[in-house]
Every structure is written in structure tokens, then in C-alpha cells.
Chains A and B, each alone.
Chain A
Amino acid sequence: MRRAIFAILVTAVGLVLLLSFKPHELTAVASPPSAVSQASPPSPGEPPSGRRQKDVDDEDSEDEDGTSIPRQDATVPQTGGTWTGPGVSSGAGSGDKVVTGDVATTRWGPVQIELVLAGGKMAGIRVLQAPDGNHRDIAINSRALPTLNDEALAAGSAQIDAVSGATYTSEGYVQSLQSALDRAGL
């Protein structure tokens, strides 16, 4: 437990997310994942272990969470709102399921999303509520939420487990999305 193994994956996710949404690009990887080993830092009251270990990550080897995004032909019903996701251009399919996330209260207002599952996997996300109390909020969210959608979907395809960050709206978004994922049983 005390040893640490850090590996920094070098990905193009950040770049891809800045571009207009193109599903096939979401899984692009700029270069093979690289890895780095790290000695343990000392915890308070404990000596460093000094062990060094290698951990090489294989970007393509896992699917055990079932949260990966189908890369094509997921179906999402077009019932209003703004959808993003691989299924955005497809018609509704009979196997789709919609899961509504909790309303997450952030400092700037409520955030709520809705999740569409196709074939048991996350296929699209719709923002049902976002802070809009003033123009600054609108300016923030008109950009923030669609890209957050992309991020969640990209995270699904890249098997990202969690997000570290320091903003309130993204926290609320992650919270609502998390609740929908919990309900969906992914």
C-alpha cells in the first residue's frame, strides 16, 4: 500500500476535446502511453519505502468496467436539448435507455444531466439544467457544458476513472453524471 507507482499517460484527449465533436477522434492517442516509476514519498511518521516499480499501461487492453463508448452507430433519440456523443447523428433505437442524473447544486446553480445508454453502454449525454443566473454564467456554460459532455464520453472511451480539478460547475456536472452512471449500473 505504501508504494507508489505513477504513470503519466500522454494522450491527445485535451486537443481532441477542443475541436468540434467528431466521434472517431475521441479515442485518438497522440503517442504510445509512457510510464514513469516513482519512489514512495514519506508519509507523516513513516519512512519512505524506496521501492521502485515499473508499470506500463496498455491503453487498449481493458474493457472490464463496461463504461467504454461504442465508437460508432450508437443510437440516441432526438427529443430536444443538446446531445453530444457518438450517437448524436443516429436515430432512436429500440434498445436505448435514458437515465436521469440527480440535480447537483453548485455554488452557481443547479446542474443536471441525462444519460442515454445503447447496448448497455454510454452513448450520449444531455444537459437538462445548468447555471444561468447571469450573463457570466451563460458565457461559462455555453462553452463549458458541451465540452464537459465530450469529456465524459471521451473519459468513457479512455477508461478514465475520475477527474481532478478545481471548478464548481464541473464538480456539479461530474456529480450528476456520476449519479446517472450509478443508476445505470455501468
Chain B
Amino acid sequence: MRHVEHVMGTVFSFDLRPPFGDGRHAIAEAVAWLHQVDAVFSTYRADSPIRRLGAGEIGLDDCPPQVADVLELCASVVTASGGYFTTRPSGHLDPSGLVKGWAIEQASRILTRCGAVNHCLNGGGDLQCAGRPAPDRPWRIAVAHPLRPGAVATVIAGDDLAVATSGTAERGPHITNPHTGRPALDLASITLIGTGLTMVDSYATAAFAMGAAARVWIEGLPGVEAFAVTPTGATWHTSGFPDTAPPVVEEAEGGSPLPGGKALP
């Protein structure tokens, strides 16, 4: 059972596998939740509580309770990431770096609660997968190669899996290092895996801003692993990945094959 929904400025893809439970109801409830989150947290809507809060028009007590929840989660990520995650990426209040992953993780819980225990919810390339797609295999998630549009950098498989990728968009860098105010350029993309997308997605944003140092940071986080591609096409991964690293970018343009796996410090 599948469903596609346009919300939060991107596309959400629902992929439910048997048993569906009350699948249609589950999807409807999850979709309503996503639209509700968008209405509260959209920084593109002048009348959204988050915009009005940021502008000082209303106080936190005037906002729906989810706003305080999200800002509290953001604060924990700011602390955990040494300030590489920020709720003010462009100067004004904007917790978008956490809201999408949080909304997806909550939507996944709605689906599970409605009996659709096996599902994969993909919000613009960030995923929360629950259960498994079939009794005899786990979910398999391809990671799009950041330098080779259409190519797959690696494939991740797992049950109850959250996957988030942060990277440079097609038109250049879009994540800024909050400590320097400059675009983050160390990495072409970094993919984090864990169980809950709230943390995995926001940590991925922080890790991209952090750059090369993210490797040590992620190593120190229990239950989270990372796979990164650098601008030259080299890759690295944290130790929770197998020693046999995915094949690297192969035949890089105008150069010799690049080292991969554990080549980087």
C-alpha cells in the first residue's frame, strides 16, 4: 500500500507492507499530522506560530505544545553537537533542521499504532523504516551518490531503521557552519543511520556542518553510524560499518581511483 503526499515543501512517500492494519486510516492520520506540523512550524508562512514566535509577536506559552517540545529537542542537539546544529541557521528562529525528522518519526509511530507495523516513510530523502518489508528480509535503502547523480554510493539494510543524508544540493552548498558563517565544504554528503529519525536527521545536519571532525563525533555517539563522501569522491565510515567498505567512486574524472574505506584519519 503506497501513498505520496506533498507537504512541508517536499514529497513524502508512504510504503506500507502487510499486515496493513487499518492502513488507509493510518495513512490519513499520519498525513493529517504532517500537515499540522507544517502549519505550526513552516517558516514560509507568516502566520505560523514559529514565525510569530521568532518575530516576538507571541510567546512560547501561546504556541501549541509541540513548539516547546521541538525547541527542547533542538537544545539537546545543539549541546550534543557542540553548537554545529543551530535553531537560527539564517539569523531567525528556524528549527527546520530537526522538525522534518521529528515529524516523520512521529508519523511512523502513528502508522505503527494503527497496525501498519511494517512501513517505510520517506520525506525528501530522509527515512524512517519500521518492521521489515517481508518476513525474510530487511529494508534496503540506497544512498544516492552526491557527486554522481543517479549513482548509488552504498546500500544500507536493516529493520526499524532511520536514515538521513545531508549534503550539498545540486546548486551548491546549502548548509552553513554556524561557527564560521561559511558554507560547509568538507563533505559532499554524510549519511547517518540509527533508530529514530529525530536525532539521526538533526545529527546529520550538524555532522555535515562539522565536516571531517564529524567522524570522531559520530564514533562517540552510541547507536549512530555514519557514511560520508568527500568532495574528491573519497569515502569514510564509522567503525560500526563493516570493514569491507563500499566500493568508492571508482574512475574519478581526470584522476586515479581514490582511496576509500578507512583511508582517512
- Give the interface of A toward B (CB within 8 A): 1-15, 17-18, 30-31, 33-36, 38-44, 48, 55, 57-58, 61-62, 64-65, 102, 104, 108, 136, 140, 143-151, 154-155, 158-172, 174-175, 178-179, 181-182
Contacts and interface: CB of A to CB of B under 8 A. Distances in A.
Interface in B105-138: 112, 120, 122, 124-127, 129-131, 133-134, 136-138
B149 interface: yes
Given A4-B223, A36-B242, A41-B195, 9 more contacts: A6-B158, A8-B242, A9-B155, A10-B244, A17-B148, A147-B150, A162-B139, A163-B143, A165-B144
Interface in B139-158: 139-146, 148-158
Nearest to A150: B150
A146 B150 contact: yes
B59 interface: no
Contacts of B10: 171
A123 B193 CA distance: 32
B199 A44 contact: yes
A93 B158 CA distance: 38
27 contacts: A4-B195, A4-B223, A5-B160, A6-B156, A6-B193, A7-B138, A9-B154, A12-B247, A13-B152, A14-B247, A30-B247, A35-B242, A41-B221, A43-B195, A44-B73, A147-B149, A158-B140, A160-B140, A161-B15, A161-B129, A162-B13, A162-B127, A162-B142, A163-B143, A165-B143, A171-B125, A178-B13
A164 B227 CA distance: 12
Interface string B27-64: 00000000000000000000000000000000000000
A99 B148 CA distance: 27
Contact of A166 (B152, B165, B193, B222): B165
Interface of B: 2, 4, 10-11, 13, 15, 73, 76, 112, 120, 122, 124-127, 129-131, 133-134, 136-146, 148-161, 163-171, 189, 191, 193-196, 198-199, 221-225, 227, 240-242, 244-247, 249-251
A59 B250 CA distance: 23
B151 A17 contact: yes
A170 B11 CA distance: 11
A2 B189 CA distance: 27
The 3 closest A-B pairs by CB, nearest first: A41-B223, A147-B150, A165-B144
B158 A4 contact: yes
Contact of A167 (B153, B169, B199): B169
Given A36-B240, A36-B241, A166 B146 contact: yes
A181 B145 contact: no
B150 to A, nearest CB: 3
A161 B139 contact: yes
A63 to B, nearest CB: 10
Nearest to B252: A18
Given A14-B145, A14-B247, A167-B170, A8 B112 contact: no
Contacts of B148: 14, 17-18, 147
Contact of B250 (A15, A35, A161): A15
B147 to A, nearest CB: 11
A14 B154 contact: yes
Contacts of A35: 157, 242
Contacts of B191: 164
